[in-house]
Structure 1
Amino acid sequence: MDEMAKFGFGFMRLPEIEGADGEMHIDIDQAKEMVDIFMDAGFTYFDTARRYHFGKSEAALKEALVDRYPRDSFQLASKLPAWVAKGPDEARAMFDASLDQTSAGYFDFFLMHNLGEYRTKAFDEYGIWDFLFQKKEDGLIRKLGLSFHDNAAALEAVLDSHRPLDFVQLQINFADWENSLIESRKCYEVARARNLPVVIMEPLKGGSLVHLPAAAVEVLREANPEVPLASWGLRFAASLPGVLTVLSGMSTADQVRENTRIMTSLGPLNEQERVALEQARAILASVPTVPCTSCGYCVEGCPEGVRIPSALYALNIMTLFDDMPMASHEYDWRTAGGRASSCIECGACELACPQHIEVMKELARAAELFE
C-alpha cells in the first residue's frame, strides 16, 4: 500500500441494537459486515480496549474478527486502564482478561490506557510498566505503548521517566492542532523528538469534523469540491511523518466504505488544500463549542446513567448550526433514558473527562434548553 494507506478500525463506536432484555447490545451482524469491508479494502489494524462499549468491545472483536480470520492476517491492539483498578492484582488481571475476551493469543500492539493527570500514577503504583514489559518478553505483546490525554509537558515527563516504549497513541486532528488544551502539535512533536511512531486517535474529533460550520465547509469546498468532508481530517492525520496508523471509530458500513476509499484512492493534501485547511481551522477556532469527542468515559462513571456526550452533542448543534429543530430531535432521540436533568452533580464525569469539560454546567444548560 502507498503512504496514505495507514488506517485502523477503532472498535469504540460500533452500531447497537436493542436486545430481548430491553438493553442495547453491539450489533454483531453489522460489525461483521464492517470488518469484512475493512479487510477486503486491504486494511488490517484493529483497536479495542477493556472499557469500550462498557466492556463489550473485546468480545465483539473476537466474534467479528478473531473467530473469522487467520490470526496472522490482522494486527490487534488493546489497552489496560490501571486507573480504574482498586489495586495491583486487579490491574494486572485486566491483561489476562483481555487475552481471554479476544482469544487473540497475543497482542500485536498493547497500550497502557489513557495516561494523564491523576490517571498516570496508578501505572507506577501498581507496577504496570514492569508487568507489561515482562509480558512483552514472554511474547504476549509485540509492541508496547501508551495512549495519552494530557498536555505536552506531562507527556514528556512520562516518557522521560520510564523505559523506552515502541509507540504512543495521541489525539491529533486539524481542529486541535494548535488547541491550548489538547496540544496536538506539541504532543506529536514530543513523540517525534524521541523517534516514537504515533498512532492517531480522534482524527475527526469524534465525528465533529464532518459537521463543520457553513463558512468552513465553503472554504474547503472551494479548494476541492470532489472530496468528502471526512477526507480532510483523515488525510491531514495520515500525511504527518512518523504516523503508524490513523484510527477511526466507525459506526456504519457506509462509513467504513467511505473511509477506506479515502485512504486508498485520495492522496495527501496538496498546497492549496493545506491553505484551505488553515482557513477552516481559523473559522472553527472562532466558534465557542463544547470540546466533547464522545469517548464515553464520563458515562461509565455516571450513577444516573446520563447520556452526557449526546446532550453535549445537541448543544454543539445549536452553537454551530443554530438549528433548534435538529438539535431538539437529536437530544430527544439520543438521551432517552438518561436526560441531562437527571444529573445529581456528583462530579464523577468531570474527573473522568479527558477534555476537561465543565460537564455539570453544560448539562444544566442542556436541560434548560431542551427539556
Structure 2
Amino acid sequence: MERGFTYFDTAYTYHGFKSEEATKEALVKRHSRDEFTLATKLPPRMLKSVEDQDKIFNEQLEDCGVEFFDYYLLHNIGMSAYQQACKYDTFGFALKKKEEGKVENLGISFHDTPELLDEILTAHPELDFIQLQINYIDWENPGIQSRRCYEVARKHNKPIVVMEPCKGGNLALVPEKAEGLMKAYNPETSIASWAIRFAASQEGVMMVLSGMSTMEQVLDNTHIWQISNP
C-alpha cells in the first residue's frame, strides 16, 4: 500500500476457508475502508440451496470485517459451476446484492472455453468485469485459450482482471535459454516481470493479480510498476 497498490483479492475457499479472516486481520483492521478495494468470490459449486447464497455472503462480510465488497465474483466458472449458478439464480442473487449497495462491481472468474464465455457474457450483460487466466505460455495453449477468451471479453467490452500472470510461479523460473534471452535484453529486470508486463500490456486489462509468498516477491512485483510508472 505504501507503493500505491490498493486492490486485494481473496475468496471464500482460499487457504482452507481462512483467507477472508486473514484479510480482515492484515488489511481491514489496519486501514480505513477508503484506502483499499477488496475483491472476494462466491463458489457456485458449493451451493446446495438458494439459502446457501445468503448464508455464505453474510459470512463473508463478517469474516472480512466490511459492510460491502468493491468487487464480487462468482468463483471458478466453468460449465458445471455455470449450470449450478443458473440452477440457483446466483447471477440474480449477486445483482440484488449490488442493488442493495453491498457489492460495487459484479464479475466472474472464468476457467473454460471461449465459446462458453461468449454464451455467459451474452446472457449476462449486467456483469461489470471478467477475471481471466492470461500469461504468455497460455496465450495459445489449447487447454486454456487465453487469447481467445481475452478476445471474447474485449468483444463484450468487459474490463479484464488477470489471474495467473506467472502461471503459479512457473514463469519466474524459465528454461535457461529463455532466461538468457531476457537477461541479454535487460539484465536488471527480473524474469517474473516479463510475465507480469505481458499481461498488463494487453488492452482492456484493468488489474493484474500476482500471488506472492515472500517479501522478496512483493518487493519485486511492486518495483516493476515503480519503474514502468515513475
| Same fold by TM-score greater than 0.5 | yes
Deviation at 1:198, TM superposition (A): 0.1
- Match in the other structure for 2:213: 251
Is the contact between residue 117 and residue 150 of structure 1 (CA under 8 Å) also seen in structure 2? yes
1:314-333 mapped onto 2 (5 Å cutoff): none
Partner of 2:77: 115
**Deviation by residue 1:161-194 (Cα, 9 ceiling, x = unmatched):** 2243100000000111111110001101100111
Structure 2 matches for 1:1-371, cutoff 5 A? 39-266=1-228
Amino acid at match of 1:114: N
* Mapped partners of 2:108, 2:91: distance in 1: 10
* 1:17-41 deviations in Å (ceiling 9; x for gaps): xxxxxxxxxxxxxxxxxxxxxx011
Shift of 1:233: 0.6
Query: How large is the RMSD of aligned CA atoms in angstroms?
Result: 1.1
Q: Displacement of 1:86 after TM fit?
A: 1.8
Residues 209-229 of structure 1 show CA distances to partners (whole Å, capped at 9, x for unaligned) of: 011111111122222222100
Alpha-carbon contact 1:81-1:91 (below 8 Å) kept: no
Point out the more displaced range, 83-92 or 103-112.
83-92
What TM-score, normalized to structure 2? 0.97
CA shift, 1:45, in A, is: 0.1
Distance 1:258 1:191, change over 3 A: same
Q: Secondary structure at the match of 1:159?
A: helix
Moved over 3 A (4+): none
Q: TM-score, normalised by structure 1?
A: 0.60
Whether the aligned pair in 1 keeps the contact of 2:72 and 2:105 (CA below 8 Å) is: yes
Query: Unpaired runs of 5+ in structure 1?
Result: 1-38, 268-371
Checking the alignment, whether the CA contact within 8 Å between 2:68 and 2:102 is kept in structure 1 is yes
Please state how far the C-alpha of 1:91 moved relative to its aligned partner: 3.1
Percent of aligned pairs sharing the same letter: 48
Q: Is the 8 A contact 1:169 1:198 kept in 2?
A: yes
Secondary structure, aligned partner of 2:217: helix
In structure 1, C-alpha distance between the alignment counterparts of 2:6 and 2:63, rounded to whole Å: 19
> What SS does the corresponding residue of 1:168 show, helix, strand or coil?
strand
Displacement of 1:154 after TM fit? 1.1
| C-alpha distance after superposition, 1:269-302 (max 9, x if no partner) | xxxxxxxxxxxxxxxxxxxxxxxxxxxxxxxxxx
Cα contact 2:53–2:93 (8 A) shared by 1: no
Where do 5+ consecutive residues of structure 2 fail to align? none
Q: Secondary structure at the match of 2:12?
A: coil
- Counterpart CA distance in 2 for 1:166 and 1:266 is 27
Task: After superposition, give the CA deviation of every residue in 1:112-132 in whole Å (9 maximum; x if it has no partner).
Answer: 111112121111101111111
Deviation at 1:266, TM superposition (A): 3.2
Residue 237 of structure 1: SS of its match in structure 2?
A: helix
2: CA distance between counterparts of 1:242 and 1:202? 17
